[in-house]
Chains A and B, each alone.
Chain A
Amino acid sequence: MKYDAIVIGAGANGLVTAHYLARAGKRVLVVEQHPSADPSADVGWIPAAVMRDLRLAGSGLRIDEPDPWITAPLPAGGTLELSRDIARSTEAIRRISPADAGKWPEFCRRMRSLAGVLERLYLVPPPDIESNDVRELTRIAGLGLYVRRLGKQTVIDLARILPMSIAELLDDWFESDVLKGLLGALGVWHLKQGPRSGGTAFNFLHHHAGSPIGVFRPARSNITQALSKLPGVEVRRGARAMVLARNGTATGVVLEKSGETIEAPLVASSAPPRATLQPLAIELYPDFARAVGNIKARGVVARGTLTLEPPPAYSTLCIAPSLDYLERAYDDAKYGKDSTAPYVEVQRTDGRVEVHVQFVPPGTHGGLAERVAQILNVRPNQVELQPAEESLYHGELTLDQILFMRPVPGWSRYRTPIEGLYLCGSGTHPGGGIPGAAGRNAAREIL
């Protein structure tokens, strides 16, 4: 069997790339290390273009947009529930802080307009600021103009807020610990940073991209499942692949266990950039290899499932009672320990109950499940956690690892120094939490 292209990884991005390539007439093989598709929900905004281009609408794709989008316990008992309707959220907030309630609509509006800028940046390859190409320069100028047209306030907000810490941003607006805690949690998602770290305001906005105004949790979907069922590409599961290259050109992949080699003139990997490129070091210039080695992709999240009978009433429960709570959770991680009191978020999607626990750096994790169980008031055997050794985003979304700096500085156009080898996963622009965006950008760049 001869293939035009091999895609490594059957996650959302790998499959999206594969299908775009297939639609362009290429014979595509996808190789996935896991024997079966991951049943867990995909968290993140699915760009409309992906749904449209791949006709996902009629393919069993379900997008869950829970309302209320978050439930957080209040210290005095009861909960704070924020819904998709701003007026209702405002009323809910008013019960804990009238001052915060007064600012909520304006906050939502400002954040929405900033996230809008990101959305625009995310559906295209990152600007190449080194380029001397007139078309690229025009495109950058166009982006600049677009931003300036949004008004002075947006420009100032962008410059001021992106490098800020989420704690500073929220302290500027609100007084309620619970409100700041549940918003602040989004700022540290998948980062080895606490809410007082600069750049977490950006991470917050990144995860707001694609959501409606006033909703600060991304949608959940089964896009990976839906893509898996889409016809048009061959998927081989249970086979871990390594890229083969000779004299600076990709020649195909070799499967780890069987040793089988499959040739193709084009390989696109949605596996983490470091895992893809490091074995090829001898084909690479050391400065590039070093940049790949320097990608920060520190694992801090344990994902898992909860067995709850009956399923809970809430759709999303957030345990992050204050910014200091999150900060202390991070402090432990700084010294290589699991958070004594971790940030825990429970997500119910289609009857599956999943849990996100942070901060869980690589280590032995003694007593972690017990602590999470205690926080959630369930038995330890109801909690099953899988700590991730590396960032699930294949590279943390810190300011030094986004746009033209992602996955490594100067190589943000999905290409690699190895001819015919492309990257198309979360490790590339625009990064994790937006299933399909990187895959689509990469496919368009390849084509």
Chain B
Amino acid sequence: MNPVLPGEIAIKSESDIVAARRTVRDAAMQVGFGMTDVTRIVTAASELARNVFKYAGEGAMTWRQLEEPGRMGIELRFIDHGPGIADVQLALQEGYSTGAGLGLGLPGAKRLMDELDIQTASGQGTTITLKKWRMI
């Protein structure tokens, strides 16, 4: 019954993407998510951590446990000061990519998590907040 302590790690190299995945896996397990949800959360984190590294060069991820009556959850936030996303609707469309990817990262993360919020503007950097809940 140890709650997850909030924390932050930098994302500025490829190995930080691996570290972000591991951190998120541990935290999600500690919050009590089942194996499938843990995999969903880690996969979403992997997508967004790679986007930070690929499009902004560097940034950070923070995580914390959420508590509400009847449910518990995890919040992940990816913060960078890169170029920002000019058209969020477009970026959320499946298959849209400026980086020769499948364009599945953002829309995929949205489907895997319960909530996804994007704060961004051209030249202003990007902050993406993800939440996943489980009933208790």
A and B pair up: no
- A residues lining the B interface (CB < 8 Å): none
